Amino acid sequence: MSSDNTTISRVEPAPRSDTSSAAPHDAATRIDRERMLFQGVEQPFVHDRAAVDVALHAGEVLVRIDLATICGSDAHTFHGRRPGLVPSVLGHEAVGTVVAVGDDRPRSLVGRRVTWTLVDTCGRCRPCTEWGIPQKCESLFKYGHAGLDDTHGLDGCFASHIVLRAGTTVVEVPDALADSTVVPANCALATMVAVVEKVPAGADRVLIQGAGLLGIYGAALLRSRGVREVWISDAVASRLDLAAEFGAHGVLARETERFADHSFDAVIEVAGVAKVVHDGIRLLRPGGTYVLAGLVHPDSLLDIKGVDLIAGCITMVGVHNYAARHLREAVDFLTVHEYPWELLVSPPLPLARLDDAFAETNTRDWLRVAVRPD
């Protein structure tokens, strides 16, 4: 899809300078800082509130968080399925309003509603430049995954504010998009834009394995680019009903055997379950493409034969996170295409009730549970 017909303006980060040695730009901005501090696996969050002065370095952007959502990876950290620093501020999916900017960022950003890349990158290393995978930057910083020994202690989204670093791309959000529509754009949706990009042009029938938020976005993205038939498989029947609202046919995961061999031009794995891959290979036509994006846990051994890949002339590709252009495309996509986005994100709980919000994710009533600072 083209972005030429939108009026979204973009703000490119300046190449990163060493902010640790740079002098603060401005008079400090006084904020009422509210943070929910992660204390360890399944421990109650500690509500930390204080008036603090934030002095921005060159390239930094102070953003007030308007709405944040609990991503699956936050839940994995909370439940101990992935390592997390203690204490820290989790959360990386959010939308907010710019409060102040450091040097090298346009002043016109102040007051604008924005989203941002969930990683900060150097813009100079080979992954950032030659390889086109800045999400693998050699000096990568990931919001919502840092300890508190940082300059501002505002690196996660389960807080009133966040300080974006100099190598972070900031994307303005059009007024027409509700906070609840745009809030997962900087993780789930932008990731799926990168995933769907790997599905070759001309694919006519695509199967998505997994009807979580990634799968639902994948269905909408594929349908919108003209894929005639999108199927989505999941073990949970209610998720298939939701997928239908986003243009996909649903099939229970245990019933994909009803498809004949070689039924699909491409298969996308966002289930996070290694055993689905064997079936995915069977279902790919000769020359088909398999995109893996959900199997991020370390014990994701695959039960497949090399000969099946070779004899099937299968292209298998992994996608992890995304580049800045995918986030821009994600915001464009939300602006141009109407789907019932309100079905995906819960009404917000107050940030101070983050414990309740994490408990709510276990009910699986919503694909994303939202929190809003005071």
Query: Does 270 interact with Zn ion (rule: CB under 5 A)?
Result: no
Return the residue of 56, 89, 137, 284 that touches Zn ion, per CB under 5 A.
137
Query: Does 251 interact with Zn ion (rule: CB under 5 A)?
Result: no
Query: Does 128 interact with Zn ion (rule: CB under 5 A)?
Result: yes
Query: Does 122 interact with Zn ion (rule: CB under 5 A)?
Result: yes
Distance CA 98, CA 119 (A): 18
Nearest approach in angstroms of CB 72 to Zn ion is: 7
- How many chain residues bind Zn ion (CB under 5 A)? 8
Contacting range for Zn ion; rule: CB under 5 A; set: 104-112, 132-140, 276-284, 316-324 = 132-140
Distance CA 224, CA 227 (A): 7
DSSP 138-197: TT-EETTS-BS-SSSS--SSSBSEEEE-TT--EEE--TTS-HHHHGGGGTHHHHHHHHHH
| Paired tokens of 54 | 């934030």
Residue nearer to Zn ion on the CB measure, 285 or 368: 368
Nearest approach in angstroms of CB 169 to Zn ion is: 13
Q: How far is CA 203 from CA 200, 229, 296, in A?
A: 6, 9, 26
Contacting range for Zn ion; rule: CB under 5 A; set: 121-129, 250-258, 325-333, 350-358 = 121-129
First to last CA, the chain: 37
Nearest approach in angstroms of CB 351 to Zn ion is: 18
Residue nearer to Zn ion on the CB measure, 207 or 331: 331
Query: Does 71 interact with Zn ion (rule: CB under 5 A)?
Result: yes
Nearest approach in angstroms of CB 328 to Zn ion is: 18
Distance CA 280, CA 267 (A): 6
Return the residue of 114, 187, 196, 293 that touches Zn ion, per CB under 5 A.
187
Q: How many residues does the chain have?
A: 374
Residue nearer to Zn ion on the CB measure, 137 or 199: 137
Distance CA 12, CA 98 (A): 15
Query: Does 14 interact with Zn ion (rule: CB under 5 A)?
Result: no
Query: Does 133 interact with Zn ion (rule: CB under 5 A)?
Result: no
Contacting range for Zn ion; rule: CB under 5 A; set: 47-55, 108-116, 124-132, 323-331 = 124-132
Query: Does 183 interact with Zn ion (rule: CB under 5 A)?
Result: no
Distance CA 225, CA 13 (A): 29
| Paired tokens of 288 | 């088909």
Distance CA 114, CA 171 (A): 6
